[in-house]
Structure 1
């Protein structure tokens, strides 16, 4: 029975590795998305700590966004998942890669995004995404740059498969975004951003940020990401039981370019990946997963 449950639910877990903690999971393992209405997903708060303030001169890192400021940028996401149950054949359950052209506009409390022609490596998903052209996404943003809520408002004609794919893509992008320290810093400064990633397996994510260059509003920041489970078990959806976490290693790196006068990263990428092993305490069932997620920003 557990093998059947795993076959139905692990794909959803591998693709998203997270949810808001406030939504349910359908019997087919997928997460419901809003139909003909905006869906708001709160994002866990961050804690930012300076490790090294860097060289003089030092200054505040704050986005100086004038309401109405616009930016054209493209978000690309690629999530690779392989899993194996016991000695069964290794399965590649990777969702299709997506490329999302965006027009971002700064508002008083956040950023409003308008989607362009979203494309995918999978022809079926690419077709399903066609009606999403012109859909809206919003980020609520704190004064330190942390995203506090994700709002999705796909066009009513957007199929559920496309809605779910867009939700996962933006969710991944949100958790690879950057928050700035409260204190002034200089080139060479290092700070950590600690945040809980909610989900069936709650994770503590720590991103170490290094300011490698600054020219006025132009910043170059290197990232080093680690994720550690905050629980020793994974609670399966629909009260289907739980799996022990045997090992869990997720680590990533990246570099992004930021213009403090624009609402989104200008360019760069972050890749996080690793291996996970789970075991059913009531049987000999063992699940192994290898994951790699890349979030990329560019023109």
Structure 2
């Protein structure tokens, strides 16, 4: 159901929180446990569809090797995830621009991360065979809303683990929240971590070189109603360093819905269809194959969905912006 508000909302955060509600368990107070994820069920992540459009020049096999690092795979980085939703109705007969704007009013959560990579152990309940296991520990983070930032900082110690292949495909996910984490802090940190899964760079199985282009199609993690296709273009390869241009296109998986909100005016109680969907995006990242996340760069995308109840009816215009910045 669409929520009819003109102002920026945190619906993306609430969606991710709802998805993760069954995943997040409080950390046990007992320090004798060897693995903080013991007893936490694994959440399966849909496998993406990878399509190579151009193999590029002098193709080589690109694969993560962070599980083989001599330092045990320990690494520190900082990420910033921004989200914003603007939604309004347009009166019948009013022209609506279907093109998505670039950006908008955003809430930004910034998290320092301590990351440890290693060879994935044998799969447990609900897990699949995987080459790599990556653990993320959240430090004292920040938020663009100072009041929320206090709760984000108090969520220090939040954990995430994923199991993945050498190509970067994440197969399962676990989340674990500190027992005393404020609810508002969790609601900011959880979708920030899930955004890292959605934006994880996945390489093709076949060799690719400079100029190569491939697409990765998958669901947005934390939003079952949105499909994302990410297009990667290799601009440089220097040893383990791979530079990529990134573009994003998003489409709703549900093409119709019923509205139940008085604020919708003439559309209240009616069925609406997706009249148009368009994404404006820009992005470039640098991947070090010895680390599980890009070491620098940013990917930002705004998707405009226009819902229509038919001729003579008002339209609903929804702009959703998501951006991830690495190595802040």
What's the TM-score bracket when you normalise by the shorter of the two chains?
A: 0.7 to 0.9
Say if 1:261 and 1:35 are closer, same or farther in 2 by CA, change over 3 A. closer
Q: CA deviation at 1:173?
A: 2.5
1:204 maps to what in 2? 227
State which of 237, 245, 258 in structure 1 corresponds to 2:287. Answer: 258
Equivalents in 2 of 1:142, 1:18: separation in Å? 27
State which of 70, 80, 89 in structure 1 corresponds to 2:74. Answer: 70
Normalised by the length of structure 1, the TM-score is 0.81
1:267 maps to what in 2? 296
Say if 1:94 and 1:171 are closer, same or farther in 2 by CA, change over 3 A. farther
Q: Is the contact made by 1:227 and 1:251 (CA closer than 8 Å) also made in structure 2?
A: no
Out of 198-207 and 110-119, give the one that drifted further: 198-207
Equivalents in 1 of 2:186, 2:41: separation in Å? 10
State which of 235, 250, 263 in structure 2 corresponds to 1:227. Answer: 250
Equivalents in 1 of 2:272, 2:154: separation in Å? 39
Say if 1:125 and 1:35 are closer, same or farther in 2 by CA, change over 3 A. farther
**Number of aligned residue pairs:** 280
Q: CA deviation at 1:229?
A: 2.2
Unaligned runs of 5+ in 1: 25-30, 88-92
Equivalents in 2 of 1:50, 1:144: separation in Å? 14
Out of 117-126 and 170-179, give the one that drifted further: 170-179
Q: Is the contact made by 1:17 and 1:199 (CA closer than 8 Å) also made in structure 2?
A: no
Say if 1:41 and 1:284 are closer, same or farther in 2 by CA, change over 3 A. farther
State which of 106, 109, 115 in structure 2 corresponds to 1:104. Answer: 115
Q: What is the root-mean-square deviation in Å for CA atoms of aligned residues?
A: 3.3
Equivalents in 2 of 1:199, 1:169: separation in Å? 10
Q: CA deviation at 1:231?
A: 2.8
Q: Secondary structure at the match of 1:221?
A: strand
Q: CA deviation at 1:152?
A: 1.7
Q: Is the contact made by 2:16 and 2:190 (CA closer than 8 Å) also made in structure 1?
A: no
State which of 191, 197, 208 in structure 2 corresponds to 1:168. Answer: 191
Equivalents in 2 of 1:243, 1:11: separation in Å? 21
Normalised by the length of structure 2, the TM-score is 0.74
Q: Is the contact made by 2:4 and 2:87 (CA closer than 8 Å) also made in structure 1?
A: no
2:307 maps to what in 1? 278
